[in-house]
């Protein structure tokens, strides 16, 4: 039986356990913290930002040691297809944050992109935070 609430270590509170929230919490703990070695205090969830006069919330933002945005992660429910619309949403957020890495995930599939001179390219493997943190 699934609990009605799930602990968000970044917001330091229990939040409603929706399918999208479950994906967000999985990505925070399993991928970012355990897999990539990102310290919890260098991540934020539901980060408010403004683009073209509209308010948005980035699902997850990872900062570097200089407190500059390094990565944005857009999380979707498992049944949501990771299509161009999802990519465009992450790119829209990036226009405000100017990150080196963009990730989209639905918990079933995850796509990570790294900045190049020409834009972004697909990454086969998630880098370690200690290697990309500058």
Number of separate domains in the chain: 1
The per-residue pLDDT for range 14-38, each reduced to its tens digit, is 999 999 999 999 999 999 999 999 9
**Percentage of the residues of the chain whose pLDDT score is greater than 90:** 76
Q: What CATH number did the domain enclosing 9 receive?
A: 3.90.1570.30
Parent domain of 126? 5-132
Q: How confident is the model at residue 133 (pLDDT cuts 50, 70, 90)?
A: confident
The pLDDT of residue 93: 87
This prediction's pTM? 0.92
- DSSP annotation of 124 reads S
Alpha-carbon span 48 to 44, nearest angstrom: 10
């Amino acid at each position: 039986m699934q609990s009605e609430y799930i602990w968000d270590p970044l917001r330091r509170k229990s939040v409603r356990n929706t399918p999208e929230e479950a994906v967000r919490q999985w990505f925070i703990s399993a991928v970012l913290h355990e897999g990539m070695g990102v310290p919890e205090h260098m991540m934020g969830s539901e980060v408010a930002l403004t683009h073209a006069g509209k308010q948005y919330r980035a699902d997850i933002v990872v900062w570097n040691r200089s407190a500059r945005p390094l990565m944005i992660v857009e999380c979707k429910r498992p049944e949501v297809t990771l299509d161009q619309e999802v990519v465009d949403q992450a790119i829209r957020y990036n226009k405000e944050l100017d990150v080196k890495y963009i990730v989209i995930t639905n918990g079933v599939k995850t796509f990570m992109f790294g900045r190049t001179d020409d834009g972004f390219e697909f990454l086969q493997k998630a880098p370690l935070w200690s290697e990309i943190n500058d």
